[in-house]
Chains A and B, each alone.
Chain A
Amino acid sequence: MAALIRMIAQRLALGVLTLFIVSVVIFFATELLPGDLASTLLGQAATPETVAALRRQLGLDLPAPVRYWNWLTGALQGDFGVSLANRRPIADLIAARLGNTIFLALYAAALAVPLALILGILAALWRNSVFDRAANAGALTAISFPEFFVAYILVLWLAQSGYFPSMVRISPVSTFGEKLYMAFLPALTLTLVVTAHMMRMTRAAIINLMAQPYIEMARLKGMSPLRIVLRHALPNALAPIINVIAINLAYLITGVVVVEVVFVYPGLGQLMVDSVSKRDIAVVQAIALIFASAYVLLNLTADVLSTLTNPRLMSKG
């Protein structure tokens, strides 16, 4: 038990360190900017007086480590400063959208994870059958498609015929059922893209295990193939499968950016793309920090969970 707690504490410490480094990279990336942020923002209107005024307003006259410290402590309390484009507090811009993005990612995950596990297990069970080959070819094709291609095919197919809306108009008053219906096409797009990866990895993990002697033993006992997979292979494949799920949930984080734009979904990804084209660095930094933190935390969770399912990994770490 002590070893377990030590392991979790170790991983958590490592995760906090990673988050710290990520925040440093995101903050100091702006320091790479050739020249001065204030004069770049002002462009044509840059006179020495306006530049000096803007520098003071943005706090650029302070040394970089001080600014970093203020930014980080502010961010931890939910205060990301103000947008450079419209001077509104970034926290207000993000607050409404963060929930929508999390909703979409969870929705897609709820569809994709069971689907991918079932398909992966079936493909491993019926290895080299027509089903396996078709599922593999389909997965390889889906991986190769850009997200917006999948999205527009679904629009053409399902929205054209009027089954589902091609634009998502979610308001705070929408009920849960309405939200599920409205967000179905974006969630389905993400599901298709992510399922392909997950299915391939699940299949590979199970096939890897099927070569083990204890599976051979179970087969010689005369056990049915389904029971072998479910009772003997699956519990031992949990560690790689948990990793696969985490990698793909992390992938959803970047996947939402494109999909949100296609379906005009009011989420963080769309805000980020808008801010990049306006070169609103403050907003982009804030959203990048949120996405990167979610990514790091997911990987950390997967790491801890897969170690728990396989105690032998503990001595290694």
Chain B
Amino acid sequence: MGWLFLAFGIVAAFGLAALLRRAALQLAPAEWRSALADMPLTAAFGLMVIAIYIFVALAAPLLAPFPEREVVGSQFQPWSLQHWLGTDRLGRDMASRLIYGARNTVGIAFATTALAFIVGSLLGLWAALRGGWLDQTLSRFVDALMAIPSLIFSLLLLTIFGTSVLTLILVIAAVDATRVYRIARSVAQGIVVMDYIEAARLRGEGSWYLIRREILPNALAPLVAEFGLRFCFVFLTISSLSFLGLGIQPPLADWGSMVRENATLITFGDITPLLPAGAIALLTVAVNFVVDWQLYRASGLKEQAG
């Protein structure tokens, strides 16, 4: 029975994605149309899912039937009309917490990725631009940090600084910035040898101008694809840490810790605790689909040019 519902859901979702793609094709401005026309169904599905998540995250207080942190009934109630997905270990409404979780979990993961990207890519571009001892020092330092598996290093840092949302964001961003630095530096190294950079240097432009106006616009395409992949990675890391009880702390509604808190239900055959985990998986799949499409497009364009 469950499998039938799942199959039906997947077919319906892809049907909806196909409709959406057709509508987008009609409405989009002319210059986007060629990009949209070769969009595979998986990417359309991914974009649709991402849009839904953003909407739910922004409109959480309007959509949720109950407040995020309030105890509204007895513990572990089954699904009912009043409590759509039942209640959790403390008697809080599961559906509402799931909706607020979109805001907290995705929001924190996004903020962390953005921070890691700003720090990592600026340092990477700067190192590639300046070269010499600055590049060597930074790169060897990053190499040393990357020799430790990221989850292990994050756990070590969280032990030292304690677990709060702010330290979580800073620690994961710091660990992840090392990976972004590597990508940004290698992308920028191909760009800094170009003639237009030399020309700008001879004009007497400063480092900040070169990074902002000359290198960044040309490095943007690979960095955007990398942002998607990094977001997935950060999102899964933060969820795993929250699941381990070391990430986002209660009473904040969060998908990782929701799975952990209500895991006992799974051994009784109740699938409710799997829903937040499924929400995590669905968003990651969606982002991966879109990134795959972007990477394919980037590589396809390269082949044509070459």
A interface with B by C-beta (< 8 Å): 18, 21-22, 25-26, 29-30, 32-33, 137, 140-141, 143-149, 152-153, 155-156, 159-160, 166, 250, 253-254, 257-258, 261-262, 272-273, 275-277, 279-281, 284-285, 287-288, 291-292, 295-296
A295 to B160, CA, bound (A): 22
Q: Tell whether A149 pairs with B277 under 8 Å between CB atoms, given A29-B160, A258-B244, A273-B246.
A: yes
**Which 6 residue pairs spanning A and B have beta carbons closest together?**
A144-B284, A149-B277, A254-B151, A144-B285, A21-B144, A145-B281
Closest to A19 in B: B147
> What are 29 inter-chain pairs, A to B, with CB distance below 8 A?
A22-B144, A22-B147, A26-B148, A29-B157, A29-B160, A30-B160, A144-B232, A144-B284, A144-B285, A146-B243, A146-B284, A148-B243, A149-B274, A152-B263, A152-B277, A153-B274, A254-B149, A258-B243, A258-B244, A261-B244, A272-B152, A273-B245, A273-B246, A276-B244, A277-B245, A281-B160, A284-B156, A288-B155, A295-B148
> Which residues of A have CB within 8 Å of B5?
none
Verify A25–B148 contact, CB threshold 8 A.
Answer: yes
Closest to A37 in B: B160
Verify A29–B288 contact, CB threshold 8 A.
Answer: no
> Which residues of A have CB within 8 Å of B236?
146
> Which residues of A have CB within 8 Å of B292?
140
> Which residues of A have CB within 8 Å of B263?
152, 262
- B271 close to A (CB within 8 Å): yes
1/0 per position for B101-127, CB-CB distance to A under 8 A? 000000000000000000000000000
1/0 per position for B228-256, CB-CB distance to A under 8 A? 00001000100110011110000000001
Give the contacting residue for B147; candidates A21, A33, A257, A279; CB below 8 A: A21
Closest to A156 in B: B266
A143 to B162, CA, bound (A): 29
> Which residues of B have CB within 8 Å of A292?
147-149, 152
> Which residues of B have CB within 8 Å of A155?
266-267
1/0 per position for B129-167, CB-CB distance to A under 8 A? 000000000000000110111111101111111110000
> Which residues of A have CB within 8 Å of B152?
253-254, 257, 272, 287-288, 291-292, 295
Q: Apart from A156-B271, A254-B149, what 18 extra A-B contacts exist at CB < 8 Å?
A: A22-B144, A29-B156, A30-B160, A144-B281, A146-B277, A148-B243, A148-B259, A149-B280, A152-B263, A152-B277, A155-B267, A253-B149, A275-B159, A276-B244, A277-B163, A277-B245, A291-B152, A295-B149
Verify B160–A33 contact, CB threshold 8 A.
Answer: yes
Closest CB in chain B relative to A126 CB, distance in Å:
20
- Looking at chain A's contact residues, the main secondary structure is helix
B interface with A by C-beta (< 8 Å): 42, 144-145, 147-153, 155-163, 232, 236, 239-240, 243-246, 256, 259-260, 263, 266-267, 269, 271, 273-274, 277-278, 280-281, 284-285, 288-289, 292
Give the contacting residue for A144; candidates B153, B274, B288; CB below 8 A: B288
Q: Tell whether A295 pairs with B147 under 8 Å between CB atoms, given A141-B285, A276-B155.
A: yes
A33 to B156, CA, bound (A): 12
Give the contacting residue for B274; candidates A137, A156, A277, A295; CB below 8 A: A156
> Which residues of A have CB within 8 Å of B277?
146, 148-149, 152
Q: Which of A144, A166, A279, A285 has the most CB of B within 10 A?
A: A144
> Which residues of B have CB within 8 Å of A281?
159-160
Verify B145–A25 contact, CB threshold 8 A.
Answer: yes
Verify B281–A166 contact, CB threshold 8 A.
Answer: no
Closest CB in chain A relative to B136 CB, distance in Å:
15
> Which residues of A have CB within 8 Å of B246?
273, 276-277
Closest CB in chain A relative to B287 CB, distance in Å:
8
Give the contacting residue for B269; candidates A140, A160, A258, A285; CB below 8 A: A160
Q: Which of A21, A148, A280 has the most CB of B within 10 A?
A: A148
> Which residues of A have CB within 8 Å of B42?
137
A258 to B237, CA, bound (A): 10
Verify B149–A147 contact, CB threshold 8 A.
Answer: no
> Which residues of B have CB within 8 Å of A153?
274
> Which residues of B have CB within 8 Å of A280?
159
A145 to B240, CA, bound (A): 11
> Which residues of B have CB within 8 Å of A276?
155, 158-159, 244, 246
> Which residues of B have CB within 8 Å of A272?
152, 155
Closest CB in chain A relative to B43 CB, distance in Å:
12
> Which residues of A have CB within 8 Å of B260?
148
Closest to B267 in A: A166
Give the contacting residue for A285; candidates B156, B288, B289; CB below 8 A: B156
> Which residues of A have CB within 8 Å of B269?
156, 160
Verify A288–B150 contact, CB threshold 8 A.
Answer: no
A21 to B143, CA, bound (A): 10
> Which residues of A have CB within 8 Å of B160?
29-30, 32-33, 281
A21 to B244, CA, bound (A): 28
A193 to B284, CA, bound (A): 14
> Which residues of B have CB within 8 Å of A288?
148, 152-153, 155-156
